[in-house]
Structure 1
């Protein structure tokens, strides 16, 4: 259908009973008004660049885009087409070039902020990752634009960290991994063409830690907490008794604890295994939890609102108290290895101790089909370990440590 379009005509035209109605403007070549049965009216413009096939651009809806605006656009497209130009493609290319230029003008600090907001904030160790960026990456690289960043800049950053005399150079690898992940994210969003950190080799060859605390060391650490108050005392003792990861204990909430049933349900969002993990509570763990004041939702806390945050100073204090300068270097995570090693020495089957510590048990059958909770087996393993700890730290009184059959 053809018609001489006017504002009154466009405003008052009756929609078709079904489908759509296309009305070609007799005044302006290429301009088409499309009317849908729903009453929606939209503009499209047909144009043919010289020597090429006919093209079409959708140009908004009426009345948001007026008849005069649509006519002006149609005239611009057909005028460019008459000399062989495709104005729509030219504008798209210009917009893409501008966006690319703006993206490459972003600073590393800008990209890090975007990355943290879009991705890191949703991860389990968001706080740790944010500190890596804030303390080590942004101060050095933050003012550079992504277009300026070179592989040499990444290498220089990592070399400087290695030369700072960090206690463990494995932290250099953590910084490298965080930066590489951030820049991969940026490449996907076309902030830059290639990731200069991706081709940089690992700066430090890491060896898996194998530190297991001796009975004497475990006793010394336990006794060093005698003079401390909660929550630091409870924090260390729960690490020793459960073998749980530091943040799993530190960020524990009362809603996860059922003292009546004697279980702690660690949600998948809060553990490395990304699966709900039920931890049976030994008698000793229950006693520690029952003695803690309920200041709020947080269990290991000074105010009930935020988890305990004094790990660094606590470790330094314990080192001083036990004379750790004469020990092989140890970390709080070594409690976890000590627990599983101790369970093994007690004869706890590998499958049961792995499940007690929320380690993945291999095999597709275990992952998909085996839904047995192993609650009794885990409870027996953790209670046997707690009994063993009590024997180590307090030799007075009767002790009943269960010996398991060899696994």
Structure 2
């Protein structure tokens, strides 16, 4: 197709009508390698067409929108760009570095989230971390974030708590590593924490409900008037679920005929299906009569069509009645401990807990049948009941 050219003026560029589809390029007669690109939606931009000596190929470089550049500045920028290309300057690398000076931490987070298929909860958590611990850094260009700034902020966060420091810096690390991977920054300043060995070694929690107090705990839970809290805590103990995942269970994912529960939005991103132990059957039938009209199994009593929050009042009541201090996650650890004590194989315990098996090559070959899982979960339930 023949190249269309005309002597560029502001008025002539403004008068060019967009094509019905695709895009067209019209070249300037004064600077022949400068063109105006017009797309069907009406977007107009100045583009320079040249030869990239660095990459030994033709190249098109967008100089900017027509609305942002005067005719004179577009020509001057085109001439300079062509001169740089002829001199062997890596114009694209320079433009990337220029972009670095403009991209802020807040914009980087938006680009990172857009590039990943993350759960909404995870996206919200990353946004909260930036707002809570790096709010003053959000408008900063990425190349203004220095190692000293990171060291100083890490010290402040450590004063709040070592877990807070670790979790906040992990979010910042994944963002800066992403920026480095796509060539927005040349180095990763947060790596100073690894070189200086400043990451805090997490203290793994190991609290469980003591076996000699399990009978008292069960008695206190079953005495709760709040059926939601009662069934919720019993399910945590008898099935080893994560708290948030269980709270967000929907009735559509509970089969009271097959006695199975399916969790979809799990921590490792995999659908998790478990058979319900016999001891919970009647409890769920009773709960169905209470919350069955809601989407959520553990429906909120306050907010319409929302899952309930963690039953803190009921937990506090049980702690006061029994003297047993526990958290919902302690039930999960107790479940795993009892499973191990009755001889459930480690690979099956991992499947019950929905722990990822990606790094376990051998486990990846094993496809556990539902009857094997059902047998294991009934063995754990029977062991729990033996403590009564």
TM-score range, shorter chain: 0.5 to 0.7
Instruction: Give distance in 1, aligned partners of 2:376 and 2:204.
Output: 25
Alignment match of 1:208 (pick from 201, 204, 207): 204
CA contact (8 A) 1:32 1:45 kept: yes
Number of residue equivalences = 340
Tell me which residue corresponds to 1:227. 224
Instruction: Give distance in 2, aligned partners of 1:299 and 1:221.
Output: 23
Alignment of 1:390-405 (within 5 A): 390-393=385-388
Distance 1:260 1:55, change over 3 A: closer
CA deviation string 1:38-90 (max 9, x = no partner): xxxxxx998899xxx9978699xxxxx9xxxx9x99998998899x6759979
- How far 1:219 sits from its partner (Å)? 3.5
Tell me which residue corresponds to 2:279. 284
Instruction: Give distance in 1, aligned partners of 2:142 and 2:355.
Output: 39
Tell me which residue corresponds to 1:102. 102
Tell me which residue corresponds to 1:344. 340
Instruction: Give distance in 2, aligned partners of 1:237 and 1:345.
Output: 19
Tell me which residue corresponds to 1:183. 176
Structure 1: segments with no counterpart, 5+ residues: 8-23, 34-43, 60-64, 394-407
CA contact (8 A) 1:77 1:86 kept: no
Distance 1:120 1:316, change over 3 A: farther
Instruction: Give distance in 1, aligned partners of 2:117 and 2:49.
Output: 46
Structure 1 stretch displaced more, 203-212 or 175-184: 203-212
- How far 1:240 sits from its partner (Å)? 0.6
CA deviation string 1:277-330 (max 9, x = no partner): 320111222222222222422212215633222356665554444434xx5xx5
Determine if the alignment matches structure 1 residue 197 to structure 2 residue 190.
yes
Instruction: Give distance in 1, aligned partners of 2:250 and 2:201.
Output: 37
Tell me which residue corresponds to 1:400. none
CA contact (8 A) 1:45 1:74 kept: no
Instruction: Give distance in 2, aligned partners of 1:310 and 1:373.
Output: 32
Tell me which residue corresponds to 1:238. 235
Instruction: Give distance in 1, aligned partners of 2:75 and 2:137.
Output: 49
Alignment match of 1:248 (pick from 233, 245, 248): 245
SS across alignment from 2:157: helix
Tell me which residue corresponds to 1:260. 257
CA contact (8 A) 1:212 1:338 kept: yes
Q: TM-score, normalised by structure 2?
A: 0.68
Instruction: Give distance in 2, aligned partners of 1:48 and 1:90.
Output: 11
Tell me which residue corresponds to 2:297. 299
SS across alignment from 1:236: helix
Tell me which residue corresponds to 2:329. 333
Instruction: Give distance in 2, aligned partners of 1:77 and 1:196.
Output: 33
Tell me which residue corresponds to 1:131. 128
SS across alignment from 1:340: helix
- How far 1:29 sits from its partner (Å)? 9.6
Tell me which residue corresponds to 1:309. 309
Instruction: Give distance in 1, aligned partners of 2:307 and 2:219.
Output: 24
Tell me which residue corresponds to 1:323. 323
Instruction: Give distance in 1, aligned partners of 2:126 and 2:48.
Output: 51
Distance 1:380 1:194, change over 3 A: same
Tell me which residue corresponds to 1:149. 145
CA contact (8 A) 1:294 1:304 kept: no
Instruction: Give distance in 1, aligned partners of 2:164 and 2:252.
Output: 34
Instruction: Give distance in 1, aligned partners of 2:339 and 2:306.
Output: 33
SS across alignment from 1:265: strand
SS across alignment from 2:144: coil
- How far 1:197 sits from its partner (Å)? 1.8
- How far 1:158 sits from its partner (Å)? 2.7
Structure 1 stretch displaced more, 275-284 or 357-366: 357-366
Instruction: Give distance in 2, aligned partners of 1:175 and 1:306.
Output: 29
SS across alignment from 1:264: strand
CA contact (8 A) 1:301 1:308 kept: yes
SS across alignment from 2:328: coil
Structure 1 stretch displaced more, 125-134 or 383-392: 125-134
SS across alignment from 1:213: coil
- How far 1:6 sits from its partner (Å)? 8.7
Distance 1:289 1:76, change over 3 A: same
